[in-house]
Structure 1
Amino acid sequence: MKSTKALTTSSSSFEPDWAWLPRNLLFMVLNKLFLLSDMIRFASVCSHWRFVAKDRFEQLNLHGNMHFTRNIPMLLIPAIENDSPIHNLFSITRGEIYDLRLPVPYTKRYIGSSHGWLIILDEVSFVVTLINPFYFGNSQGIIHLPPFIAALDTSEEEGQDFNCEYFVRKAILSSDPATSPNDYVLMLIYGEFQLLASWKSGDTHWTYVNWEVPLIYDLMYSHGQILAVDILGQLISCDIRVKPASHSIVSDHLLGMLGTFCRRYIVKLPDGTILQTVRLLRACKCNKDVPAFFTIGFVLYKLLDNNDRKKWISVESLGEGALFVGDNHSQYVITSNFPGCAPNSVYFTDYYEDADSKRLNSYHFTAHRYIGVCHLDDGIIRRIFYLVEKICLDSCFVTYLVTVNAYPSGFT
């Protein structure tokens, strides 16, 4: 009994000092981390671990003046460095370019940017691929989904006239595949008539939702259903949990303004309210005979229950909120959580090229390539970043998901 007691006492008095693990052991742990969020968590443990992580961050070209804040979109931008294509990040709230040289495809159009993942459609195999741009490892930051058969069929029908990059208008995820690997859904808008399709993790094939000429503009996921807005501003609910998927129109229509084109986006606010953002565009022939689109403003509506039929009512202000909209990402944020983000504003990518027209004719429409912000209180649109047209193949908002609020301090 004595020996047992002594052993227990001795064992209980031993408390390892995790903060001062040997450097070589910490390096071994750090080299097993490939997600940027995991590296930041590692560096946030204590000053000793942060010092050990410094070499790894420098290797990845990360520096102390770079701020990665949770749930605020940044702009993924292509660039050329020493005649080689690279991708960097532009911080909209700080107005800074972060030279990260992210390992993501340069020549692909991103059909979606959702929950921290980029989404592309391969023009040869028609496989849909998810890429985590903040993953600095081998293949674990890439997820290959089954081939999108609708693209294959259309390619065979149209032959050389088929434009794969613009066949899918937009794709979104229901949740982060890294945290819900067995329970996420990918939804997309595709084809000439902008139909809906979905794929659930574990499925071997895609589910297609078909009805007469819907012309879907945007979509979101809510409680096992796809909510989509069509060309008339109607909200459509699609239940993909049943086979075949059912659908119904649940709101009144909402027309745009005369004399303008428009694009529509839907997002859900923190209180559950569904917001429709109508982006007003005007076309003009500013460069020879090539029509160009210009964003001239935004109008907002929220969905209001009206017995059996919901209706849209005008919204004059976002208050302390801000919207980020684009062909591959839409998001609402509360600006008080993000210094530098303007309240009551809409941030947008205005390298606008109509996906439908690009699918049919790659040179039909063009646009000035810049990132802008529309201040809703006075309607003024301000350009905050220009993209170099000759090297900019595509850019998109991407949200960095991490459990700490900012990049660890202490790096110089």
Structure 2
Amino acid sequence: MEAPVPDWSGLPADILISVFQLLECPDLLRSAAVCTFWQKAYSMFRRSGVCPSQQTPCLLYCTEAAGAKALGMYSLSERKSYSMPLPEPPISNWIGSSHGWIVTMDEKSDLMLLNPITGDKITLPPVTTMEHVKPIVNDDGVLEKYKMSFYDGELPRVEDTPYACPLDRYGDLVYLKAILSSDPSAGECTVMLIHQPYAQLSFAKVGDAHWNWLQMHSFYADCIHHDGCFYAMTAAGAIDVFDLNGSSVVHRRILPNLVRMLEKCYIVQAPWGDVLQIIKEESLDPEQPDGETYVTAYEVYKVDFVELKRVKMRGIGEYALFTGKSTTSCFSLKDHPGLMANHLYFTHDDHDELLSGKDDPRDIGVYDLENDTRTNLVDPEPWRTWFPPIWCTPNLAKAGFPDDNGEAQ
């Protein structure tokens, strides 16, 4: 006699919701299609504002198959690609990803936060409120270009010749990376922007009317939010801390320059508490006779704030690193078994290369920190070269900020 088929539709709602909290994003979205009861439980779960924990990063990209109004999403937990609609208005690029939100720009290079899963949007202050930007309007008062001035915070101020830039070109030229302090869905959030000229910092809190320039230093390479402050690292390995919680900015340099200027470096807080620096190095491939082929290598260092030095690590054990335009991150394989231990997942984020070669192939893959080898993430690669693919950790929480019509989203 065959055992009866379990009736999963009879699960109590509270148990079902507890199960939902454990699911990866693709499984959770599919769960609503199981039956009417599950669909109701799923809707109740989404309205509760509770977001499933321990989501594994996905790769967002544009693809010919999805078209201009959709995004591709490659799930690392399932090793499978999906497509999802791209909310209006159209975006022209993205420059950051944190807490499941991507930092996008429109045709005028104004920045906006977008949750690609829920479609929630949060506008940020306009370009013209940034320190180095002035609007150029025509005789009818219509905005035509931006004039960018070239100076930093050193005194006496020395300015290079300003540059008049088309509206839709400004963001690609100027924005290097954006980092969020927290999940905008949950409340207050600050956006830290690394930008030209001279890789400086500006920030804006959600709801602010303008950007705030941090003029202390220049040539920043990466930034994270840690223990209530922003930790920004320069291309020479120095680390500055910015406390933005009071009425005025508190700045401290807690690590001096350690090396010569690097081509690419990253900062991340590890789950076990240490702050790590990741160095990306490119060198000519000796096995290629053309002399124009480069090989990429990554090295990971632990920062010692007591001895004011960094110590090279042999590996990161049962953890995986993520680098690129997204916030640099470190994930435990205990919570994310679909990832590979002691590996670094990278996307192409060299600003000059992305800018000068929008149609060039993108360097995206997985780097083995033990064997110093790399593999492609997926083969064949489904993404178009523009926008450059970016990591995003799905977030299904709905935002509570007002939309453009003044209503809660």
Partner of 2:305: 305
Using the TM superposition, give the Cα deviation of residue 295 of structure 1 relative to its aligned residue in structure 2, in angstroms. Answer: 5.3
Is the CA contact 1:369–1:389 (under 8 Å) kept in the aligned structure 2? no
Partner of 1:171: 178
Is the CA contact 2:175–2:195 (under 8 Å) kept in the aligned structure 1? yes
Partner of residue 112 from structure 1, selected from 74, 96, 101: 96
Partner of 2:38, secondary structure, is: helix
5+ residue gaps, structure 1: 1-16, 21-35, 56-67, 404-412
Using the TM superposition, give the Cα deviation of residue 100 of structure 1 relative to its aligned residue in structure 2, in angstroms. Answer: 2.8
Partner of 1:50: 38
Change (3 A) 1:327 1:202: closer
Partner of 2:4: none
Using the TM superposition, give the Cα deviation of residue 102 of structure 1 relative to its aligned residue in structure 2, in angstroms. Answer: 4.2
Partner of 1:237: 241
Partner of 1:248: 252
5+ residue gaps, structure 2: 1-9, 14-23, 44-51, 136-145, 149-162, 398-409
Letter in 2 for 1:156: K
Using the TM superposition, give the Cα deviation of residue 195 of structure 1 relative to its aligned residue in structure 2, in angstroms. Answer: 0.7
2: CA distance between counterparts of 1:71 and 1:265? 22
Change (3 A) 1:282 1:365: farther
Partner of residue 125 from structure 2, selected from 134, 146, 152: 146
Partner of residue 156 from structure 1, selected from 121, 144, 147: 147
Letter in 1 for 2:263: C
2: CA distance between counterparts of 1:200 and 1:235? 22
Aligned residues: 337
Partner of 1:337, secondary structure, is: coil
Letter in 1 for 2:81: I
1: CA distance between counterparts of 2:292 and 2:390? 20
Structure with bigger helix share is 1
Structure whose CA Rg is larger: 1
Aligned ranges for residues 196-211 of structure 1 at < 5 Å? 196-211=201-216
Q: What RMSD in Å do the two structures reach over aligned CA positions?
A: 3.8
Letter in 1 for 2:147: E
> What is the percentage of aligned positions where both structures have the same residue?
24
Is the CA contact 1:87–1:101 (under 8 Å) kept in the aligned structure 2? yes
Partner of 2:255, secondary structure, is: coil
Report the TM-score when normalising by structure 1: 0.70
Superposed CA deviations along residues 326-350 of structure 1, whole A, max 9, x for unmatched, are 0233211011322231100100013
Is the CA contact 1:170–1:327 (under 8 Å) kept in the aligned structure 2? yes
Partner of 2:338: 340
Superposed CA deviations along residues 182-220 of structure 1, whole A, max 9, x for unmatched, are x221111011211111112343322211034x2000001
Partner of residue 223 from structure 2, selected from 207, 219, 244: 219
Change (3 A) 1:74 1:294: farther
Using the TM superposition, give the Cα deviation of residue 275 of structure 1 relative to its aligned residue in structure 2, in angstroms. Answer: 0.8
Is the CA contact 1:326–1:349 (under 8 Å) kept in the aligned structure 2? yes
